[in-house]
Structure 1
Amino acid sequence: MNTPTDTAVDPSASSAEPASTATAARRRSRFGLLPRILLAIVLAILLGLVMPEAIARVFTTFNGVFSGFLGFLIPLIIVGLVTPAIAELGHGAGKMLAATAGIAYLSTILCGLFALALSLFLLPRMLGGARIDTLENPEDSAIAAYFEIEIPPVFDVMTALVLSFCLGIGLTLVTKGALQESFVQLRTIIVRIIEAIIIPLLPLYIFGMFLGLTMNGQIWTVIGTFLTVILLVFGMTVVVLLAQYAVAGWAMGRNPLRMLWNMLPAYMTALGTSSSAATIPVTTECAKRNGVPDAIADFVIPLGATIHLAGSTLKITTFAVAIMIVTGMPLHIGALVGFVFMLGVVMIAAPGVPGGAIMAAAGVLASFLGFSEAAVGLMIAAYIAIDSFGTATNVTGDGAIAALMTRFSKGRVSGDLTAQQHAEVHGI
């Protein structure tokens, strides 16, 4: 989950320094990542109409270096985030943890497959003959970089995935010790790199990409594609939530529409905060309103915020298919299905990535679907543009999982969680 950077304050320092730091932090929170990316896109479209090519090449050069660094970092992101996430799932509350994790994974996979099937059926018709050739043929672009810097990764993405699974599962079989602590520290390092370098520079990278698309005459195709896919994604999230609460209503013997209505405060909170973690207290209270016992709600909701990202998987799958269509990439059904199943696993690392699930998914997009750095960058822009809708779908679905766990645990769970269970769920 996104954790704020701890800042040690020197007692001898003047009081003005902490105050100025706090003021800067408040300013950054008011002008978040989404507004900065939207501003970057608007400026790129406007300036792309008048900017001289010599200046545009500066941004093209930056994008080349930045994408090279991002490609170098992606395998490290996978190892640094997925490994400890899998290891920590092994130290839960026994059968209840296994059942919750299994339902969460099944929900995520079914949402991804639903999005894949509907996207393959509808998007070719909805997008018509829209094409963006410059993403897959950057050498044909009219804007060339001044220079290029090669930054080869330490190992490729598939090696990183397999290594993460082996180490993460292995760590669940041994006593917690120095190795697991090392991966926790590696996760902290990776998160700080993302916070300090990737996230601040991401709007500039998006600016350079959309500047190139504007100067190459492709920008209106991109915008039309975005709007079309956003409408499709929103419609699919409605269908997914209705299906989830139809099952939840059966599990609880209650009106599913009434249960979904009771979850509205959680949905709206996630829509405003774009954070599953920040919405946990509201989601927990809403689940209890639906008749979920305190013990189950207090266990399932925080865990679901970490491992249940059905809405995010739906969005990523839909946008991936859209980009493959408009760039002329081949749509291999086997590779796309494998992508969805792998995405469901990688998503457990997403709450630890500032900037959302798309950062954790970047490696899978490259390894399974052959996405270039430019295509991944376009995915990031598209994903963050509607990030809050995916988060809202995720947390609302957590309430449905809690209802299912109530039925499966009926008669065996009452009261509050033990102190040990609380510690295991919250990682303390």
Structure 2
Amino acid sequence: MRNMKNIINKWNSISLVLRIICGLILGIILGLAVPQASGISILGQLFVGALKGVAPILVFFLVMSALCRMGKGQKTNMKFIVVLYLLGNLLSALVAVLASYVAPITLTLTEAAESDVAPPSGVIEVLTNLLMNVVANPVDSIVNANYIGILAWAVIFGIALKKASEGTKTALDNISEAVAQAVKWIISCAPFGIMGLIFATISTEGLGALLTYGRLIMVLVGSMAFVALVMNPLIVFLCTKTNPYPLVFKCLSRSFITAFFTRSSAANIPVNMELCEDMGLDEDTYSISIPLGATINMAGAAITISTMALAAAHTMGISVDFPTAFILCVLSALSAAGASGVAGGSLLLIPMACSLFGISNDVAMQVVGVGFIVGVIQDSCETGLNSSTDVLYTACAELRDRRKHPENYTTDINIHAKKRKAEA
């Protein structure tokens, strides 16, 4: 028993990123060497299932506890964070449009995608879906991971509990801490989960599947890489007036990797919460901004929608002028913000964008089918960009506020992070 405990302690003493990389390499090797060992993939299913299961409860209690503790007039950076989220969506769509002009893509469309889910007919339907999710039953929202509903009811209950007794607030804090501890235990299993996830991909799709539709993948991934490594650092620099890349790479190394393999912004919420805590950010802010970002901060989705819609236009021989393309950017940015409330995510929003060019739904659904083919890489990169940017913009807003109003902060942002590292 003691030897087992020592092994676990030594394993946990290794950096989580290094452990994840080990799991990634081992998953690739096993996927190529023993693809028939399907039992390995269950590790990935268990990991993603555990994250998805605990995330709604974590978000509900963290947001409610933070709001009921928030004093009157207490300052947060939420307004600026929301502006960054929406601006990021728009600029990402613009990057995708420019990339599509530089490297226009044509597709081979043969048969429509098989899907039982009808795409939304327009922006009005997307917004209607969002509003209906806001007023959904709170218990049903938690059960079905409806994060719009979870956020709405957590805010309502949190504000209503401001005048509750200290004992009630303490109980909420204790529940939040208990759920957070459970999340930490789950995250410590990430290397095994990611090993299972990458094994499932390699054993069923093979390495060759990742190279299919190479030109389309290059434009999609290239646009996302440009946003992650050029556009986002520029936004951080303009806000903080400091070298943005240490912060950018920290978010990418901790948040992007897990989101890439889980392919779920919702499942990555606990990972982002822990990263914000390690960075010493204000819990009253990130406990709200992270789940909100998983809902509306969809830069990767905006890139996918814009790129695929323009690929459809090029395939059909439709000439798209820049004013029309800019309208597409706005449409993509707005619809991407509602992607999490639409069954099928960003791919099923492609027909709505295609309708801007008068492309029929039959053709648009064939483009959706192509989207599912490249989804092995596209969806992973999209989710990684979306999720890592949630933490980046949250940290960016706080660093900007610390620079402008240092008198509002009594400790350095790195003190808590150094303390956590020393404890580890």
Give the TM-score of the pair, scaled to structure 2.
0.52
Is residue 127–residue 338 contact of structure 2 (8 Å, CA) maintained in 1?
Answer: no
> 2:192 maps to what in 1?
none
Listed one character per residue, the Cα deviations across residues 178-213 of structure 1 (whole Å, up to 9, x for unaligned) are xx3489979999x9xxxxxxxxxxxxxxxxxxxxxx
Q: Pick from 289, 299, 317 the counterpart of residue 306 of structure 2.
A: 317
Pairwise CA distance, 1:275: 0.8
Matches of 1:378 and 1:390, distance apart in 2? 17
After the TM superposition, which residues 384-403 of structure 1 pair with which residues of structure 2 at under 5 Å, given as runs? 384-386=375-377, 387-403=379-395
Pairwise CA distance, 1:287: 3.8
- Say if 1:320 and 1:366 are closer, same or farther in 2 by CA, change over 3 A: closer
After the TM superposition, which residues 279-428 of structure 1 pair with which residues of structure 2 at under 5 Å, given as runs? 279-290=268-279, 292-359=281-348, 361-369=349-357, 370-376=359-365, 377-382=368-373, 384-386=375-377, 387-410=379-402, 411=405
Matches of 1:105 and 1:368, distance apart in 2? 21
Matches of 1:285 and 1:187, distance apart in 2? 21
- Paired residue secondary structure (2:103): helix
Listed one character per residue, the Cα deviations across residues 116-154 of structure 1 (whole Å, up to 9, x for unaligned) are 01211222xxx5xx5647679xxxxxxxxxxxxxx9x9x
Matches of 1:281 and 1:186, distance apart in 2? 18
- Say if 1:408 and 1:163 are closer, same or farther in 2 by CA, change over 3 A: same
- Say if 1:363 and 1:163 are closer, same or farther in 2 by CA, change over 3 A: farther
Pairwise CA distance, 1:352: 3.5
Q: Which amino acid aligns with 1:237?
A: M
- Paired residue secondary structure (1:328): coil
Matches of 2:237 and 2:277, distance apart in 1? 14
Is residue 129–residue 341 contact of structure 2 (8 Å, CA) maintained in 1?
Answer: no
Matches of 2:211 and 2:353, distance apart in 1? 22
- Paired residue secondary structure (2:265): coil
Q: Pick from 246, 267, 270 the counterpart of residue 258 of structure 1.
A: 246
> 2:122 maps to what in 1?
157
Q: Are 2:224 and 1:237 equivalent residues in the alignment?
A: yes
Name the % identity: 21
Q: Are 2:106 and 1:119 equivalent residues in the alignment?
A: no
Pairwise CA distance, 1:240: 1.0
- Say if 1:188 and 1:280 are closer, same or farther in 2 by CA, change over 3 A: closer
- Say if 1:274 and 1:156 are closer, same or farther in 2 by CA, change over 3 A: closer
- Say if 1:164 and 1:29 are closer, same or farther in 2 by CA, change over 3 A: closer
Q: Pick from 254, 257, 264 the counterpart of residue 275 of structure 1.
A: 264
- Say if 1:280 and 1:164 are closer, same or farther in 2 by CA, change over 3 A: closer
Gaps of 5+ in 1: 1-22, 33-91, 137-150, 173-179, 192-222, 416-428
- Paired residue secondary structure (1:113): helix
After the TM superposition, which residues 68-217 of structure 1 pair with which residues of structure 2 at under 5 Å, given as runs? 96-123=77-104, 127=105, 132=108, 157=122, 160=125, 180-181=135-136
Matches of 1:298 and 1:119, distance apart in 2? 37
Give the TM-score of the pair, scaled to structure 1.
0.52
Matches of 2:339 and 2:93, distance apart in 1? 16
Pairwise CA distance, 1:311: 1.5
Pairwise CA distance, 1:241: 1.2
Matches of 2:341 and 2:128, distance apart in 1? 19
Q: Which amino acid aligns with 1:259?
A: L
Q: Which amino acid aligns with 2:364?
A: A
> 1:421 maps to what in 2?
none
Pairwise CA distance, 1:102: 2.0
Q: Which amino acid aligns with 1:109?
A: L
Q: Which amino acid aligns with 2:224?
A: T
Matches of 1:162 and 1:356, distance apart in 2? 14
Q: Which amino acid aligns with 2:232?
A: Q
Is residue 323–residue 375 contact of structure 1 (8 Å, CA) maintained in 2?
Answer: yes
Pairwise CA distance, 1:253: 5.4
Gaps of 5+ in 2: 1-38, 49-66, 147-209, 411-424
Listed one character per residue, the Cα deviations across residues 393-417 of structure 1 (whole Å, up to 9, x for unaligned) are 11121122112320454359769xx
Listed one character per residue, the Cα deviations across residues 237-273 of structure 1 (whole Å, up to 9, x for unaligned) are 2221122134325544553222222121211000110
Matches of 1:317 and 1:268, distance apart in 2? 24
Pairwise CA distance, 1:234: 1.9
- Say if 1:121 and 1:183 are closer, same or farther in 2 by CA, change over 3 A: farther
